Structure 1
Amino acid sequence: MKKYLTTAELHSALELRDLSDPAAGPHALQLLLEEVTGGLERLWHVETSTHRLSPLVATADNYDRLGYSPDDVTRDSRYSRHVSPTVMLRSHTSAGMPALLDSLRGELGHYDRLHVLPGLVYRRDSIDRTHVGAPHQVDLWRLKARGLLGPAELHRMMAAVVEAVLPPSRYPDVQWRATPANHSYTDGGQQLDMLLTQPDGSREWLELAECGLVGSQILRGSGLNPGRWAGLALGLGLDRAVMLRKGITDIRLLRSANPDVRAQMLDLHPYRPVSALPEVRRDLSLVLGTAQDADIELLGDLARTVLGTEAEVLAALEIKAVTPADKLPAAAVERLRMAPGQVNVLLRLVLQPLDRTLTDEEANRLRDRVYLALHRGEVLELIAG
């Protein structure tokens, strides 16, 4: 059974500023998006159309018309934000493509254009320094009639995107790779990874984008003949791309109200760290109904929701252990009054505002709010007093 957003939850989501939209004020995300689209324009010598669409989309456009199976796990309310049985907050900007493809049915001549669909997408995600529940994404689809677009052109597209995100003149040691990946709306899908050096000197592959040839079934679904039409589709996470370009390690900095940080979000120069404030940790012992409820994305979304405007202080939410009642000592089961089938979850809450130091009293109060939102046991263990 789907869970639908309340009016307050929907309003809160729609009020969130889209950093990629110039109408809401300048931001580094817009500059990087310009460099990516500009690089592809120069590569292909094609015109670009940018589409800024409503984040409210038909569920069919978000899933069915993009080839997702009816039982795909991403449809579940644990991962997607449904408004009604037929409407949702888009979980990817690709949701705008079915209607755009429909509009091309009347194109009978030569056609070659890059379509750019940027904006916020809404997911139930884990809480850490590289993930948020409403990240920025851009879909880049080159659509062509009376011409071929194949794997070689897709490879050139990936190379151009990497060069735009991390220009070789400033980042000469960049390495990237493409590995096979399955997407419901592409053929020959690829995942684009970049090899990055971490602060401790270690090297790690990090996903930057996913792409592929537009699937023939997607074209047919909009009345376009795959024998005449071809396309390339690439989805890029703009938050991560900007973080890579500027050397930012905490995604919350992109929305920071700190003047010294905010001023640095107006360009693509390397980020100069502002003095770091200490983090505060609080460990929670939760009782949940089943092991399936110990889902870090679900718990993270519940924590964000209950904290509302104070959710920005959440730096991370980490599950340390999940133990069924029958694996715990009898004394612990009795103390927590756990029923058969329930689980004990040890959860670490990491709190770290970006603009001030958190007092113990504030940390305890926030800890208790999260605890009350997540805990499903009979016994309460509050510490704020």
Structure 2
Amino acid sequence: MSTSLVASGSRPQPLSLPALVDALSLRDLTDPAQGPHALQLLVTDAAAALGELWDADVRLLRSRPVVAVEDNYDRLGYEPGAVSRDVRYTRYVSDTTMLRSHTSAGVPPALRTLSAGPAPSRDVLLVLPGICHRRDSIDRLHTGTPHQLDVWLLRRGGRRLDHDDLHLLVTTLVHAVLPGTHWRWTATSHPYTIGGREVEAIHGGQPVEIAECGPAAPEVLAAAGLSPSEWSGLALGMGLDRVLMLRKGIPDIRLLRSADPRVAAQLLDLAPYQPVSDLPPARRDISVAVAAGSDAELLGDRVREALGPDADLVEEVAVLSTTPYADLPAAARERLAIRPDQENVLLRLVLRPVDRTLTSEEANTLRDRVAAALST
């Protein structure tokens, strides 16, 4: 068993076989082998701009989404007790494998391959796009299956890569994928970088997070067999879905997978998105007893599991209020059949397909399915 799972005090809860099959069957929009999509153009533009800037050996790497827990967490410097390892947020396949939560999971194997090969004569640019699997809240900007792009620049010998190079990398990348967009960064920390930064694009006068970056942590390089005294690196991970939405002016992340021909045809290029309709939403409120401490991410994930293919009909799941057991009147406790280790959550379910209007009966059926699933 992975040491991380022992440290967290709980064994992983593997996905059911149907859930795993569904996850592995989901189209990776960054993979040309699975059909063309505008996300692939962003990957191509980013790799070309950065590869030309440093005259680097560009290595575009793709892999299956099932990865070793050690590569997703341990070899990237995540502490054994890191919250992200918790079974509430990670989709474990077994004790030692999981659906990757970020494309950074492909970096340790790529670094090991680099270490085992001949010494490169120039900088190496690792480009790792792909689909990831997370437990996340449901709204217009979030999904449990985001697409990401990891870019790692590695240098052996010579002048060491530093924060000036990092600034140039971010500047070049933003110009390539969001031409003309202003950006800023703020200090933050990541287990796989030192002196990390969070990158925000300024859109409509507001900052929107699009990437995280920093000089590669020496411990991560050393763990892969690359001596930090000889090697230096820069690491960056970018959310491709959000960048494409900013680039094209797409208002809802579900549109990226729309089967509506009027929408799908617009997702083959980087031209501005032309809205096809503005359908009215159906709103349903649900009062339910759930485990104390359940957050929007966990509840959103349970809604997705409950609705399966119909989850795309949900535009948002919003937590309107949370009431502890002790604060509920006796009549409410009896009505909810709530236990002392639970709390009463009032949810608002916003239902709006991207291509049609739901009937009242359809909306009520979806509400009932969600309520039943959350009550178990």
Same fold (TM over 0.5): yes
Structure 1: gaps (5+ residues): 169-173, 198-202, 377-385
The match for 2:77 is 67
Kindly tell me the number of residue pairs found equivalent between the two proteins: 364
Partners in 2 of 1:248 and 1:140 — Cα distance? 24
State, as a whole percentage, how many aligned pairs show the same letter: 53
Q: Is the 8 A contact 1:111 1:143 kept in 2?
A: no
Q: Is the 8 A contact 1:57 1:88 kept in 2?
A: yes
**Is 1:164 the equivalent of 2:176?**
yes
Q: Is the 8 A contact 1:31 1:267 kept in 2?
A: yes
Which amino acid in the other structure matches residue 211 of structure 1? C
Partners in 2 of 1:187 and 1:110 — Cα distance? 26
Partners in 2 of 1:56 and 1:248 — Cα distance? 30
Partners in 2 of 1:238 and 1:3 — Cα distance? 29
Deviations 1:297-325 (A, max 9, x none): 11111111111111110100000000012
SS of equivalent residue, structure 2 residue 161: coil
The match for 1:328 is 328
**Is 1:77 the equivalent of 2:79?**
no
Give runs of aligned pairs for residues 361-376 of structure 1, distance below 5 A.
361-376=361-376
How many Å apart are 1:45 and its aligned residue?
1.9
The match for 1:251 is 253
Q: Is the 8 A contact 1:111 1:146 kept in 2?
A: no
The match for 1:113 is 124
The match for 2:161 is 149
Q: TM-score, normalised by structure 1?
A: 0.92
The match for 2:268 is 266
Structure 2: gaps (5+ residues): 1-9
**Is 1:4 the equivalent of 2:11?**
no
How many Å apart are 1:180 and its aligned residue?
0.7
Q: Is the 8 A contact 2:197 2:212 kept in 1?
A: yes
Q: Is the 8 A contact 2:153 2:233 kept in 1?
A: yes
Which amino acid in the other structure matches residue 19 of structure 1? L
Give runs of aligned pairs for residues 88-99 of structure 1, distance below 5 A.
88-99=98-109
The match for 1:382 is none
Partners in 2 of 1:338 and 1:265 — Cα distance? 46
The match for 1:132 is 143
Deviations 1:23-62 (A, max 9, x none): 1111110111111111112221223110011111110111
The match for 1:171 is none
How many Å apart are 1:334 and its aligned residue?
2.9
Q: 1:240 aligns with which of 225, 239, 242?
A: 242
Partners in 1 of 2:213 and 2:198 — Cα distance? 6
Q: Is the 8 A contact 2:58 2:127 kept in 1?
A: yes
Q: 1:39 aligns with which of 35, 39, 49?
A: 49
Q: Is the 8 A contact 2:221 2:227 kept in 1?
A: yes
Which deviates further from its counterpart, 266-275 or 331-340? 331-340
The match for 2:350 is 350
How many Å apart are 1:99 and its aligned residue?
1.2
Q: Is the 8 A contact 2:55 2:123 kept in 1?
A: no
Deviations 1:281-307 (A, max 9, x none): 0000001232x1x21111111111111
Partners in 1 of 2:338 and 2:125 — Cα distance? 57
The match for 2:209 is 207
Which amino acid in the other structure matches residue 51 of structure 2? E
SS of equivalent residue, structure 2 residue 114: coil
Q: Is the 8 A contact 1:316 1:351 kept in 2?
A: yes
Q: TM-score, normalised by structure 2?
A: 0.94
**Is 1:289 the equivalent of 2:291?**
yes
Deviations 1:330-364 (A, max 9, x none): 33223323333421100010100111110000000
Q: Is the 8 A contact 2:151 2:236 kept in 1?
A: yes
How many Å apart are 1:267 and its aligned residue?
0.6
SS of equivalent residue, structure 1 residue 371: helix
Which amino acid in the other structure matches residue 177 of structure 2? V
SS of equivalent residue, structure 1 residue 40: helix
Partners in 2 of 1:8 and 1:133 — Cα distance? 17
Partners in 2 of 1:109 and 1:238 — Cα distance? 29
How many Å apart are 1:175 and its aligned residue?
2.1
CA distance 1:108–1:38, shift in 2 (3 Å) = closer
Q: Is the 8 A contact 2:247 2:270 kept in 1?
A: yes
